[in-house]
Amino acid sequence: MRLMAARQEKSIRHFSIWVPAALAKAQHHITQINGCGCEGRTAPSLWSLIKGTCDMFIRVYVSVHALAAQVIRKENSLTLVLNQTKLRRFDHQDGKMEPEKDLQATDSLREDVVAVGLRAELDVGQPDVQLQRNAGQEDLKSAVSINQAFKELWLFYFNCMFGLSARNLGDDLRKFWPKIKRATYRFYFKGEFGEETGLEPPPLNLIHTVCGSCAKDPGFAPWQRSDAPVPKCLVTGTQLFHGRPMEYSLILQNLHVVPSSHVKNKLFLFCIMLSLWGYMIYCCVGYCSTVPNLAHGSVSRHHNAADTDNTESSLGASRDLLNNENDLDGKGEEWDEIRGEVKALDDNAMSGFLNESESKKLPQAIIIGVKKGGTRALLEFLRLHPDIRAVGAEPHFFDRNYDKGLEWYRELMPTSSDGQLTMEKTPSYYVTKDVPARIHTMSKYTKLIVVVRDPVTRAISDYTQTRSKKPDIPSFESLTFKNLSAGLIDTTWSAVQIGMYAKHLERWLQYFPMEQLLFVSGERLISDPRRGNGPRSGLSRAEEGGHGEAFPLQSGKRLPLPQETRGEQQTTLLRQNQRQDPSKYRPGGRAEVKGLL
């Protein structure tokens, strides 16, 4: 046995505890024990415990300065695995300790020791003691005894580890101690002691035996003192962790050791972090609300929302799944465009292209609709005419920005001389309830241009545009028809509503005579823009004015807009040329421009 133990000793961490065959049956209830010991008390205590309780024949090699021990049940033996730096052998027969003995590869073992401590987080063990319910009475008693013995053993280890050893560790051990982050005690007893088995708490004499020398030490848990009541859960009171008191919380059979001050510190830190985060969010919100652009955006959106309502009211109770949202989305760009346009014109003024008689005027002609009718094309063609000055973007003054006032509106317009016509286009005007009255208020002589197109094609164009931005919208058919098989059209859908040109026209005719409205065919604008809208269309005049090359017409295809063929730079140049030598680009006078309308 000694030979064997010596051989095992060479393997440094494996030691055998021999168990009498008579007790082997009971022992198989014990699968594994992890523990830790120090100061040479572990093995004697283990021995005392088991001997005193189970009368087992055990030979124990004890650890000195050991951090962890493991007892693993094998067939007829328990193997005590010690993670330690030094060893002393304890002979139970004569009760003497052998002299301390240095281990090989001490450093690596120390690493191992730390690793064990961290890996287990001082998870002291998993005895996994099972009480076999169908076992005989004797077996049960034996099992219970062993269970109890080991339970006590763990308790002792815990005390060694956190009670005495925390204060009595040698320097080597002490330096590892701060690395231990958390202490967790776990008991895995499948079966309640006491209640199920009727077993009493461990007898006091056992405790005295185990802790004979330690019991006087006030660092030990109170239950280890002879005068202290023995608790059923076997672990109680306050232990030391890093020299500070620890709190125990009993959760089912698991017992967690939570260093209270540690937790409190963490909680405190967490609260501080939370407050900081809250403050940062608060600051961010405050900052956002003070950033001019964002604020402007939010105000604009607010206005837009209101304006959208306004627009919707013109369409009755229409389902506006398309139009207004798009308009809102595009508005930022529009205003950038407007500002860009105005700026470009101001630049012109700076470079001397404008003469002093020019001023900004309210529009005399407006393309009021309809959306997706071809309004952009018409405006771009018209503004090539030297006597037409137009805002490139859609001002949406009469439907969304009316509260900004006419001066604001005028400021958006390009400068023009007396003979020139100022124009703008906003296709949503045609379907917006209040717009006819508002334009009429501005000037009852305002010329109104409406580009109309087959309502179905228009609706499809409208839908397609929205779908390109929002692919998730329902299908065109499902939006158009109330009942597809019956062919019932849903006239509440805005895309359909906009196409009901006659209905909207009635509203306009309440304020303007028919002669003041010009209806342009969107289809003809595509198929034959030169002649499509009359022999004296703006396009033919522009062509006469020397801009024919700007309209490379291919039959059946829409005419490319000037930007598409020449680029914005060239268009700007063209306008500058118009200004430099108006006569060259001026086939007719203002009267002729008026005649177009």
Ligand X SMILES: Nc1ncnc2c1ncn2[C@@H]1O[C@H](COP(=O)(O)OS(=O)(=O)O)[C@@H](OP(=O)(O)O)[C@H]1O
Of 182, 360, 361, 376, the residue at the interface with ligand X (CB under 6 A) is 376
The verdict on 461 binding ligand X (CB under 6 A) reads yes
Question: How far is residue 108's CA from residue 545's CA, in Å, rounded to a whole number?
Answer: 96
> Is 376 annotated to bind ligand?
yes
Burial 42-60 (b: 16+ CB within 10 A, else e): bbbbbbbbbbbbbebbbbb
Using rule CB under 6 A, residue 374 touches ligand X: yes
Among residues 328, 525, 574, 593, the one that binds ligand X under rule CB under 6 A: 525
**Number of residues engaging ligand X in binding (CB under 6 A):** 14
> Which member of 440, 558, 566, 590 binds ligand X (CB under 6 A)?
558
CB of 284 to ligand X, least distance (A): 37
Residue closest to 15 by CA, chosen among 25, 29, 24, 37? 37
142 near ligand X (CB under 6 A): no
Tell me whether residue 461 is annotated as binding: yes
Catalytic residue list contains 372: yes
Residue 522 near residue 381, CB atoms below 8 Å: no
Give the number of residues written for the chain. 597
372 binds ligand X (CB under 6 A): yes
Exactly one of 13, 89, 371, 385 binds ligand X (CB under 6 A); which one? 371
Residue of 151, 331, 371, 372 marked catalytic: 372
Q: Tell whether residue 163 is a contact of ligand X (CB under 6 A).
A: no
**For ligand X, which residue of 46, 559, 574, 593 counts as binding (CB under 6 A)?**
559
Q: How far is the CB of 520 from ligand X (least distance, A)?
A: 11
Kindly give the interhelix angle for 292-314 and 323-350, rounded to the nearest 10 degrees: 120
Shortest-Cβ-distance residue relative to ligand X: 376
DSSP element (H, E) containing 264:
helix 260-290
Q: Which is nearer to ligand X, 373 or 499 (CB)?
A: 373
Whichever of 64 and 539 has its CB closer to ligand X, that residue is 539
If the CB atoms of residues 27 and 428 are measured against ligand X, the closer one turns out to be 428
Q: Does 473 bind ligand X (CB under 6 A)?
A: no
Indicate the Cα dihedral angle 412, 333, 352, 384, nearest 10°: -90
Pairing of strands 415-416, 421-425: unpaired
Q: Which is nearer to ligand X, 163 or 374 (CB)?
A: 374
Question: Which tokens is 426 given?
Answer: 């906003």
Q: Which is nearer to ligand X, 59 or 372 (CB)?
A: 372
Q: Report the nearest approach of ligand X to the CB of residue 323 (Å).
A: 9
Burial 351-385 (b: 16+ CB within 10 A, else e): eebbeeebebbbbbbbbbbbbbbbbbbbbbbbbbb
**What separation, in Å, do the N-terminal and C-terminal C-alpha atoms of the chain show?**
120
How deeply is 177 buried, as exposed, middle or buried, from its count of CB atoms within 10 A (0-12, 13-18, 19+)? middle
- Give 488's strand partners: 483
* Residue numbers 88-127 binding ligand X by CB under 6 A: none
Give every strand in the sheet of 388-390, ordered side by side.
388-390, 421-425, 365-369, 447-452, 517-521
- Unique residue bearing structure tokens 């090699």: 61
CA 149 from chain centre, in angstroms, equals 53
453 is in an annotated binding site: yes
Rule CB under 6 A: is residue 530 a binding residue for ligand X? no
β-pairing, 60-64 vs 32-35, is unpaired
Name the one range near ligand X by CB under 6 A: 41-49, 243-251, 354-362, 375-383. 375-383
Per-residue string for binding with ligand X, 416-435, x by CB under 6 A?
A: -----------x--------
Q: Which window, 161-169, 191-199, 373-381, 403-411, contacts ligand X (CB under 6 A)?
A: 373-381
**Within a 10 A sphere around the Cβ of 522, how many other Cβ atoms?**
25
Find the binder of ligand X among 35, 37, 373, 532 (CB under 6 A). 373
The yes or no reply on residue 228 touching ligand X (CB under 6 A) is no
Interior CA angle at 491 toward 490 and 494, to 5°? 105
* Binding of ligand X by 377 (CB under 6 A): yes
Q: Which residues are annotated as a binding site?
A: 372-376, 453, 461
Give the residue numbers marked as catalytic. Answer: 372
- Which residues are documented as binding site for 3'-phosphoadenylyl sulfate? 372-376, 453, 461
Q: Which residues bind ligand X (CB under 6 A)?
A: 371-377, 427, 461, 525-526, 558-559, 561
